[in-house]
Structure formats: C-alpha cells, structure tokens
Amino acid sequence: MNENAILALAQARGVALLTLVRSGLTIAEYSPSEVKLAVTGYGAARKAQVGFMVRQLLHLKAVPRPDNAADAAAIAICHALTLHFHLADALK
C-alpha cells in the first residue's frame, strides 16, 4: 500500500469515527488477536481457522467470501460476545 492510499484510508477512518461520535453512537475496536480469541478460542489462530469457526457459528454452508466478509463476520461475532459478557457483568 502506498503512502497516498494509507493517508486516504486514515482520513476516511477519521471522518467515519467523527460521524459516529457526533451521532451519539459508541465505538468499539478490537485487535486481530482479540477477534481470533473470541471466535476460535486461540488468539493466534490462522485465517482459515477463523473462517471455519465463522462458518460453524453462523451455520453457513461455506466460509463467507471475499476474505473481508469473513473478517467482518468475525468482528461482529467478537462484538456480540463482548457485549454479552459486559451485560452479564452489569446484571450481577
């Protein structure tokens, strides 16, 4: 990725985050290892392992394609599990 592409991506990310904050929405960010741990139980899982677990957890016939779709599904699963645990702690 060249410098111009990196700069454009950073600017787009900044605009997206600012829009979310101004809309009153919360932002959650997860590292790759946090997502892998939540989905597979192993923070250093390979992409194929994450894809397999996404397919299993969502009862899909195949791993979502392209890879970005599987990654997005894994992040959504991680977020759902994180929210579940935060809510469980709040209800104690």
Contacts of 63 by beta carbon, 8 Å cutoff, 6+ apart: 51, 52, 54, 55, 70
Torsion angle, alpha carbons of 66, 20, 86, 76, to 10: -10
Render pLDDT for 46-84 as a digit per residue (tens, 0 to 9): 999 999 999 999 999 999 999 999 999 999 999 999 987
CA distance 91 to 57: 25
Per-residue pLDDT, averaged over 5-32, amounts to 94
Q: 84 and 41 in one domain?
A: yes
Q: How many domains does the chain have?
A: 2
Q: 37 and 7 in one domain?
A: no
Whether the model pTM is above 0.85: no
CATH number of the domain encompassing residue 52: 3.30.420.10
Q: 83 and 60 in one domain?
A: yes
Domain that holds residue 12: 1-27
Q: 1 and 40 in one domain?
A: no
Q: 16 and 38 in one domain?
A: no
CA distance 72 to 86: 21
CA distance 78 to 33: 11
CA 37, distance to chain mean position in Å, is 11
